[in-house]
Amino acid sequence: MDGTENGGAVATSGPLPTAGWNRHRAGLQVAADTNRTDRRRLQPADPAELPWPAATVVRPLLAWYRRAGRDLPWRRSRDPYRIWISEVMLQQTQVERVRDYFQRFLERFPTVSDLATAAEPDVLRAWEGLGYYRRARQLHAAAGQLVSQHGGVFPETVGELRQLPGIGRYTAAAIASIAFDQPEPIIEANSRRVLARLAGYDQPLVQPRDEEPLWQLAAAMLPRRAAGRFNQALMDFGAIICTAALPRCTACPLAAVCIARQQQRVAEIPRLPAPRAIRRLQETAIVLRHRGRLLVERRQPGEWWEGLWDFPRQLPEGIETVGRRREVGDVRYTVTHHQVSCRVTASDVSSRPRAKRHQRWVRPNELAALAMTAPGRRIAQLLTPP
């Protein structure tokens, strides 16, 4: 969610709540291009120019969080390693799904040193099922950099944290504020929705730079202490009360100051791009057997799930099958705006040629140790049912 440079004023539409908020929006500037490694921290706007006194939001929000905030395993300490792992897992993944993965991942790699010294296939196997495997590779690379350049100790500033692979603006601010109580704002899906509705901010949010006014608003509202608690409260509030669909406005302790509610525009704000259309595909996977071994192939660069193991989708060169092809079952999966229906078949092979670099002949009981694609794992389960 890293922003980019925006040299002009932020436009507005519709009635403005206050003249001060008008000046506040028009004066927002981006501190520096996100490609610069020395990006300065956001300069908070003058709280006097907010659409409401900051305390009318901060105090009831923190009080609500004390009563109703979610009990999540990564919040039970301020260990930056645990916070980092959780934040990366939560990107593109629902909270309930992350709970179990988080615990298992930490059991396998309890410290940053354990993660740094692990083999990449072991990290990918532990990540299997969370998807977006680039995150796991970047975690592994960042752990190595933390150990080699920082002695295994997390830096405390956003600027230093953003030098680590895979840590962008949001993740750096989350670690800095939650682990080290640095006064850093965060914007992610939930807090973006809460702040946009509170301020009645109705501009399209298409590119990262479009969120800059909300970053500035969040910076202006940060309490002097407990910035991390405030950031977590915003996220939980968006997840529980100020939801995307069917928000609980009648139970909202901030309803009196919510401009979107006053204007009866809650359903319209924030203005997000329409979701991409889903494309439906069909494919066939071939399970090739020879004397108790199965052929698997590693996905190549440019393919979905690069580096993970799966069963071939076409008969590999140099392999001849014997007998009839047998039906094994069907596997359905979703990946990157595609819904795929995969027909699974099995064939015996007359001879076993030497495996190429991206291939391996394995016994069925060896599949469990491989880092496999989501459909590959489901196919393996068809072959070795419990």
Residue 131: predicted pLDDT:
87
Name the band, by pLDDT with cuts 50, 70 and 90, for residue 270.
Answer: very high
List, for residues 337-357, the tens digit of each pLDDT value: 899 999 999 999 988 888 888
Active-site choice (87, 128, 188, 211) = 87
Residue 183, pLDDT score:
95
Q: Which pLDDT does position 243 carry in this prediction? A: 97
pLDDT band at 101 (very low <50, low <70, confident <90, very high): very high
Q: How high is the pLDDT of residue 336?
A: 85
Above 90 in pLDDT, residue 263? Answer: yes
Task: For 172-203, write each residue's pLDDT tens digit.
Answer: 999 999 999 999 999 999 999 999 999 999 99
Please give the share of the chain, as a percent, with pLDDT higher than 70: 87
Domain ranges of the chain: 19-268, 279-383
At residue 51, the pLDDT reads 81
Q: Is 160 a known active-site residue?
A: no
> Would you say 345 and 311 are in contact if contact means Cβ atoms under 8 Å apart?
no
For the chain, give the mean pLDDT: 87
pTM recorded for the entire structure: 0.82
Taking residues 357-365, what's their average pLDDT?
A: 93
Q: Which CATH class is domain 279-383?
A: alpha beta
For domain 19-268, which architecture applies? Orthogonal Bundle (1.10)
- Is the predicted pLDDT of residue 373 greater than 90, yes or no? yes
Q: What pLDDT is attached to residue 16?
A: 35
Return the pLDDT at 93: 86
**Average pLDDT score over residue span 38-60:** 67
Mean pLDDT of 267-277: 92
pLDDT of residue 385: 66
